[in-house]
Amino acid sequence: MIEIKEIRKSFDDKEVLKGISATFMSGSCNMIIGGSGSGKTTLIKCMVGLHEVDSGEVLYDDRDFTKLNFEDRIPIRKEIGMLFQGSALFDSLTVQDNVMFALNMFTEMEHSEKLDRVNFCLNRVNLENVNKKFPAELSGGMKKRVGIARAIAMNPKYLYCDEPNSGLDPKTSIVIDNLIQEITDEFKITTIVNTHDMNSVMEIGDNVVFLHQGQKWWEGSNKDIKHTDNTELNDFVFASKHFKEMQK
């Protein structure tokens, strides 16, 4: 379980996060949605420690991440997997080395054990015969899947996905969404997905947090969204004519 309490973050004079609190349960897909500039990415970066919060707490199973220094954060970081918007695979390494990276760095496993783990993770994301390929040789969807494989290589308890469907076609997006949900259920991971994609929200959003102007504006399940009377959320979700007609 991840709990955030009163998270505040400013850049220069601009307050981007204005006291956000939420609880993300394990074994569920938690979606953070909101318009551009609403603070979604900043919130995720604060939660994983890429930005330091100005005030507030980020609790990983009651361990306050914000109070720890770099060294003390490492044990928690080993429990975190993250899929980045652009996949962020290491260009100079093969797919196999990318997935094996954290295993090489942090474990004393034999090479054969690590290779088994890599193959398990790649199979889990439905990728085969790509071990020796470099990221530049893969399609966008394949890169995302390798990104997921790398994120789950260390058996994480917490999985972050930043815009997992950006730049993907609708069919591949569904594959990635289903993969995220399956992995969340299978390994009982606390998954937090930052997305614009309303199809994803409707498909896999067990818990949805809507950010607006740096504040938590609404929280509920994907089913609740259809019936909400929250104006800002409705404007965001049903922005297109097509969705408005569907809502009617």
Partner 1 sequence: MLFYHLGKYVLLMKAALKRPEKWSFYWKEIAREMVSIGVGSLGIISIISIFMGAVTSVQTAFQLISNLISSSVIGQITRDNSILELSPTIGALVLAGKTGSNIASQIGTMRVTEQIDALEVMGVNSPGYLIFPKIIAGVTMIPMLVIISITLSIVGGGVAGVLSGALSQADYITGVQAEFNNTILIAGMVKSVIYAFIITSVSAYQGFYTSGGALEVGESSTRAVVVSCILILCADYIVAQLLL
Residues of the shown chain interacting with partner 1 in the complex, contacts defined by CB under 8 A? 45, 48-50, 70, 73-74, 77-78, 80, 82, 84-86, 88-91, 101-102, 104-106, 154, 160
Give me the amino acid identity at 54.
Answer: D
Q: Measured from the CB atom, is 7 or 237 closer to partner 1?
A: 7
Q: How far apart (Å, rounded) are the C-alpha atoms in residues 134 and 143?
A: 10
Shortest distance, position 21 Cβ to partner 1, whole Å: 23
Shortest distance, position 102 Cβ to partner 1, whole Å: 5
List residues bridging with 31 in a β-sheet: 193, 208
Sheet holding 55-60, edge to edge: 14-24, 2-11, 55-60, 63-64
Q: Measured from the CB atom, is 75 or 226 closer to partner 1?
A: 75
Tokens 């193959």 sit on residue: 119
Q: Measured from the CB atom, is 48 or 209 closer to partner 1?
A: 48
Q: Measured from the CB atom, is 101 or 134 closer to partner 1?
A: 101
Q: How far apart (Å, rounded) are the C-alpha atoms in residues 73 and 60?
A: 11
CA distances (Å), origin 33, targets 98, 143, 214 = 29, 23, 12
Shortest distance, position 177 Cβ to partner 1, whole Å: 21
Shortest distance, position 116 Cβ to partner 1, whole Å: 19
Q: Measured from the CB atom, is 106 or 120 closer to partner 1?
A: 106
Shortest distance, position 226 Cβ to partner 1, whole Å: 34
Please state whether beta strands 190-194 and 29-34 pair in parallel, antiparallel, or not at all (unpaired).
parallel
